[in-house]
Every structure is written in C-alpha cells, then in structure tokens.
C-alpha cells in the first residue's frame, strides 16, 4: 500500500514539473504582433512570436512567462493546466519597460535551395535552447576623427550616411550581455537611427537644411554644432513603380533562426506593402545562384510569400554569382523613371568566387552604372560581416541596415519603407568651411568611413551617399572656440601668406556649409549653401532633437572609451536623453535610455 501511495506522489510531482508545450497568439487592438519576446522569468530560455503572432515554448506548470515588446506594457502570466495562453498587449506611451532579447537555438535541414513539398500544416517551432556560436564577426577599423585647425585644414568634406546598422547591432550585443567591439560603434549610424522632427523642404530641392549651435554637453568650454537634413516625404501612392529583386543568401551559414527564418518573416512585411504596378523577383544563392521567382506583380502576394516560405538553407556561399544574376534580372526589367533596386539579405559570409572587400567593391561599382540601386540587409550573429556589407551598400548607391528581430524588421521594411527603398537624392556631399577668427579647432563626430578629399566635393564622378523619402541625416561638429586652452590643440608656426586678420564682413559667421546632390536619374550635381551664425545657446535652450542627438553621441563615445568623451558619464547621458525624447510614438528613444541604463 505504501509503495502504491508513494508511486502516486511521484506521479503527481512528475506531472507538476513535466515540460509541456505552451502555445498561443500575442496581439494588440490592431491584430497579431510579430517579434514579441517571450521568456521564462528568471531564465534565458525564450522564444518570440512569428509573423502571425504565434509562439510555442517548452515550460512547466508554475513557470512565469514574460511577454515584452517595444512600446507595449510588459505582461507576466503563470503557466497553469492549460496548454494555450493567448495574450492581448496594451500600449505603453509613457515608459518603455525592459525588453530582454535572447537568442534561440535552431536546427534546419541542409538539403536543397528550397523545400518543394512543404507541409502547409507545419507547426511553429517550439525550440527554446539558448543559441551559442563562435564569434567570427568582422568590422572595419575605425580611427576616430581628431581635432583639426582651420589654418591648416579649413575644409571638412564627407559623404552623408543614412545607414543605421550600427545601432541595432550594438543593441543586440548589449541585450545579449556581450562586450561591444570599438569598431562596431559607428556614432553617425547610431545618431541617424532615430528620426528627428526637422521641417519638410518647401522649395524645389528634395531636402531641407537645418542647423543648431550650443554649448557642448560633455565639455562646456567647447561648442557643439548640429547640421540636419530632412528628406522630402513622398506618400506611398505617389511613389514610382518598383522593379525589385530580392537577393537572398540561403547558404548553410543562414540556417539559424535569427537568419533565414527571420529574413523570410521580415520580407513578408515588405511584400504586404507592394502595389499592383510593383514587380518582385527572387534570386537565391548558396553553392550556386538561381532564380526562384520571375518578376511578379505586387498584387500576387500569396505567390510571392509562397516562394519565400519554400526557401531553405544549405551549402556554400557564392555571393558574387548571386549579385551578378540579380543585377542582370533587374536590368532586364528596368523601369524608366521607376525604382530599380536589388535588396540583398545575408550575414555577409561570401566564401565561393569573388569574396574580398576590394573585389566586391569593384563589382558593385561596375553594376551601379546600370542605374539599379542596392539595399543591403544584415542578419544573424556570430558570423556577421559588417565590413563587407557596408562596402556593398556604400558602393552600390544604397543603404545598409541590420535586422536582429521582427521589431527592427517592422521599422526598416514597414514604418520606414519609403526611405529604405526610394531614393530622392544621390551622391550627397557636405563641405564645411570654418571661420578661423572664431574657430580654433574642429572635429567631425563619426563619419570616419565617409571622409572625402576636399577636391572630391566638386567632382561629379565621386560616389557619395543617398537620401531616401522622409529620411533625416544628422552630423555633429565639436568646436574649440578661439581663446580656449585645450590639450587637443597645438601651436602652429606663423604662416607668411595666410591672411588671419579678422574680416568684419564675416564677424557674425561661425562656419559655412555647402551641399551637393544629384537627382536619382541625373549625373550633374546641384549645390546649396547655408551660413551658420556664431549664435551659441545653452543646452537647455536647444530643441529636443539637438539634445537627444548629443546624448547618442555621448553614449557612442563612452562605448568606444573615446579620448574625446570629456566629462561624460552614464547618468548625464540618461538625464539628457530622458528629457529629450519628445513624443517618441514608437518607443525607440525610450529603448535607448533603457540600453544606457543596462550598460551602466
């Protein structure tokens, strides 16, 4: 009898602590939410919802599941006897609760480019093993810009940059508890990740120019100058017809859940916004390249999505062959006055054929002559090749983003769809001339990989950056005024021919900014000029945009342990950013504050 009772007790405990699959749908008032993070409280075991808001996770009775999503109230639910747990999330407009992002294990078949016999009743994977992989990521070396004197270097010339990959990549590392490599921190990309409330252009030019000057928050003896560009926003219905080629890496390195599976879900967001007049083709590459979908009208969404669903990872990586084929297809179906673009999605690991950065650069430079633009989307971790993808985007008249979860996919391919895919100005260059009677020394913050020779500014054969519909671009200069003693300045020998006498005509001017750009279908540049007056405000008098951009720059310098970070500390960054978030409808600026707190 005792044995029987003891067995019943054991069976009861076994039932109580047995693993079971909990599944459900997470949604809000507008429908299912993709990319919601679900973790078992107190552990790093978790998963996230798929494109349809569905999830599945192995848990025990009594476990607490934590549901987190940017801009939503965090929800905790205790696992009971039911195997189904649906969740309705509410907006959180005031405070962004902590979102824990983890990486999940995944094992995918490795045969063939795509699965021809896909089971339509296939269940969402319940794998929740924490993902681990050797770190073979690569980043271009960044040597921070130093202070220069206008007497020796009166001009500062660079190409604009709307890439935002660095911020989402750094965020991924911080959320995973990893050390952030210095070269992964590109301050200009971190600043430009955020949208700023700049006024729209009101003249015939495709962007408006804004500037602001104030005391530098991390060194009160210095001055901080912000130069902002606001691209004209074109409504979706007014955008030209698109000729898009999805170029998708389906090699073996893409089989992890945060690579090809996430990529397919992300591309569905883009497909759902296409119109009848838009055309999409799909090219894939592994050991070889092939066409999976011939150009298809945007109103045939089920056909396009079905082609995406069939993709499967396996094999080596002949990226250059894929690029060649994608451009050939885009050129064959080229739309005059339309948006012709290849969208490359990969972790950047090319290991068959042309693979060096310099060889790929030559290939892309040749292909951009066709008038086809390039968007590069990076996925995954552990094997991510940032330097290679940045090279491709920079030389391909395009942009570069890093997608680490469905929330970022929604931002890049949903909310910012127009800016990501539709170029309104190309080869945009900036040249700043400093008034030596006002400026002792200056330093461009970031843009180290975008510097140009001064003579390149007027040379229309030199490639530069592109601005998309609605894009904002922000650049910061730190200035040491005349008369301020600084460890960053050195005395120069007197110059016989240089005229340094004050000119009353320019007494009120701090600097002059010149811009050059080309219309997307033209090869001759147009020049604009803006004078920035010597009108230095206190930080408290500046708009939210100025203070928030400054806080992001400060955070980047802290992460890099920059010699120029001055008196910056994390509490100062948190205070400055918290008070400068503005409306923050999507919660990204609140998330930034959380990241700074996490690093602190």
Checking if the pLDDT of 30 tops 80, the result is no
pLDDT of residue 498: 64
User: Residue 49 — very low, low, confident or very high, per pLDDT cuts 50/70/90?
Assistant: confident
CATH number for the region 239-404 comes to 3.40.50.410
Checking if the pLDDT of 546 tops 90, the result is yes
The encoded tokens of residue 131 equal: 């993902």
pLDDT in tens, 442-460: 999 999 999 999 999 999 9
Domain ranges, ordered by start, for the chain: 16-88, 155-234+424-485+506-599, 239-404
Instruction: Give the mean model confidence (pLDDT) for residues 511-527.
Output: 94
At 441, is the secondary structure helix, strand, or coil? strand
Checking if the pLDDT of 135 tops 90, the result is no
Q: How far apart are CA 597 and CA 6, in angstroms?
A: 51
pLDDT of residue 104: 36
User: Residue 347 — very low, low, confident or very high, per pLDDT cuts 50/70/90?
Assistant: confident
pLDDT of residue 191: 97
Nearest to 185 by CA among 572, 557, 438, 571: 557
Q: Answer yes or no: same fold for 155-234+424-485+506-599 and 239-404.
A: no
pLDDT of residue 385: 78
pLDDT in tens, 246-258: 999 998 888 888 8
pLDDT of residue 10: 47
- Architecture of domain 16-88 in CATH? Sandwich (2.60)
212-234 burial code (b ≥16 CB/10 A, e <16): bbbbbbbbeebbbbbbbbbbbeb
User: Residue 110 — very low, low, confident or very high, per pLDDT cuts 50/70/90?
Assistant: very low
Checking if the pLDDT of 18 tops 90, the result is no
pLDDT of residue 583: 86
Instruction: Give the mean model confidence (pLDDT) for residues 457-468.
Output: 92
pLDDT of residue 51: 64
- Architecture of domain 155-234+424-485+506-599 in CATH? Sandwich (2.60)
Checking if the pLDDT of 354 tops 90, the result is no
CB atoms inside a 10 Å sphere around CB 347: 28
pLDDT in tens, 214-242: 999 999 999 999 999 999 998 888 888 99
Checking if the pLDDT of 343 tops 60, the result is yes
Nearest to 545 by CA among 231, 232, 233, 227: 227
| Higher per-residue confidence, 305 vs 400 | 305
Strands 373-379 and 398-403: parallel
CB atoms inside a 10 Å sphere around CB 572: 16
Q: Quote the pTM value.
A: 0.78
Instruction: Give the mean model confidence (pLDDT) for residues 86-106.
Output: 54
Checking if the pLDDT of 527 tops 80, the result is yes
Checking if the pLDDT of 114 tops 50, the result is no
Sheet harboring 64-68: ordered strands across?
46-48, 37-40, 64-68, 75-78
pLDDT of residue 12: 47
Q: How far is CA 413 from CA 258, 416, 422, 461, in A?
A: 16, 6, 12, 31
pLDDT of residue 499: 60
Out of 308-312, 456-460, 556-560, least confident range: 308-312
Checking if the pLDDT of 534 tops 70, the result is yes
Checking if the pLDDT of 353 tops 80, the result is no
Average pLDDT, the chain: 84
């Amino acid at each position: 009898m005792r044995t029987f009772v003891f067995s019943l007790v054991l069976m009861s405990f076994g039932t109580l602590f047995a693993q079971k699959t909990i599944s459900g749908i997470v949604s809000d008032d507008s429908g299912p939410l993709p990319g919601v993070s679900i973790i078992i409280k107190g552990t790093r075991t978790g998963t996230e919802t798929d494109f349809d808001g569905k999830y599945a996770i192995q848990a025990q009775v009594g476990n607490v599941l934590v549901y987190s999503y940017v801009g939503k109230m965090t929800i905790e639910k205790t696992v009971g006897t039911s195997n189904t747990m649906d969740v309705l999330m509410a907006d959180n407009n005031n405070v962004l609760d902590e979102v824990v992002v983890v990486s999940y294990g995944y094992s995918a078949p490795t045969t063939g480019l795509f699965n021809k016999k896909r089971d339509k009743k296939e269940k969402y994977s319940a794998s929740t093993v924490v993902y681990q992989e050797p770190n073979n990521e690569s980043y271009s070396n960044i040597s921070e810009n130093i202070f220069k004197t206008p007497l020796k270097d009166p001009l500062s010339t660079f190409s604009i940059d709307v890439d935002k990959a660095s911020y989402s990549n750094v965020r991924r590392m911080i959320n995973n508890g990893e050390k952030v490599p210095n070269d992964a921190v590109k301050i200009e990309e971190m600043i430009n990740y955020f949208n700023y409330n700049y006024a729209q252009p009101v003249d015939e030019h495709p962007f408006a120019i804004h500037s602001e000057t104030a005391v530098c928050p991390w060194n009160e003896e210095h001055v901080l100058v912000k130069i902002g560009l606001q691209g004209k926003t074109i409504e979706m219905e007014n955008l030209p017809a698109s000729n898009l080629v999805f170029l998708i890496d389906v090699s073996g390195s893409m089989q992890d859940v945060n690579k090809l599976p996430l990529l397919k879900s992300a591309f569905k967001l883009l497909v759902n916004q296409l119109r009848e007049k838009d055309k999409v083709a799909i090219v894939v590459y592994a050991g070889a390249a092939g066409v999976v979908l011939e150009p298809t009208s945007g109103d045939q969404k089920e056909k396009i999505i079905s082609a995406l669903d069939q993709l499967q990872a396996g094999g080596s990586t002949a990226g250059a062959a894929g690029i060649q084929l994608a451009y050939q297809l885009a050129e064959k179906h080229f739309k005059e006055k339309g948006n012709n673009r290849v969208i490359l999605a990969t972790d950047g690991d090319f290991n068959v054929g042309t693979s060096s950065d310099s060889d790929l650069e030559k290939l892309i430079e040749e292909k951009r002559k066709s008038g086809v633009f390039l968007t590069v989307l990076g996925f995954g971790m552990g094997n991510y090749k940032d330097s290679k993808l940045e090279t491709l985007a920079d030389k391909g008249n395009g942009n570069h983003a890093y997608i680490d979860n469905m929330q970022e996919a929604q931002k890049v391919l949903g909310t910012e769809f127009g800016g990501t895919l539709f170029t309104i100005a190309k080869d945009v260059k900036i040249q700043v001339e400093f008034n030596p009677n006002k400026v002792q020394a200056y330093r461009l913050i970031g843009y180290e990989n975008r510097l140009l020779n001064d003579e390149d500014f007027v040379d229309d054969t030199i490639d530069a950056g592109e601005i998309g519909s609605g894009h904002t671009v922000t650049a910061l200069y730190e200035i040491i005024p005349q008369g301020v003693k600084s460890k960053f300045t050195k005395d120069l020998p007197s110059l016989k021919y240089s005229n340094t006498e004050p000119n009353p005509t320019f007494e009120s001017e701090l600097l002059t900014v010149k811009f050059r750009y080309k219309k997307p279908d033209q090869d001759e540049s147009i020049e604009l000029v803006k004078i920035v007056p010597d009108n230095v405000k206190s930080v408290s008098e500046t708009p939210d945009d100025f203070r928030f951009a400054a806080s992001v720059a400060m955070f980047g310098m802290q992460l890099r342990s920059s010699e120029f970070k001055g008196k910056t500390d994390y509490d100062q960054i948190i205070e400055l950013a918290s008070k400068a978030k503005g409306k923050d409808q999507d919660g990204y600026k609140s998330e930034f504050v959380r990241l700074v707190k996490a690093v602190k």
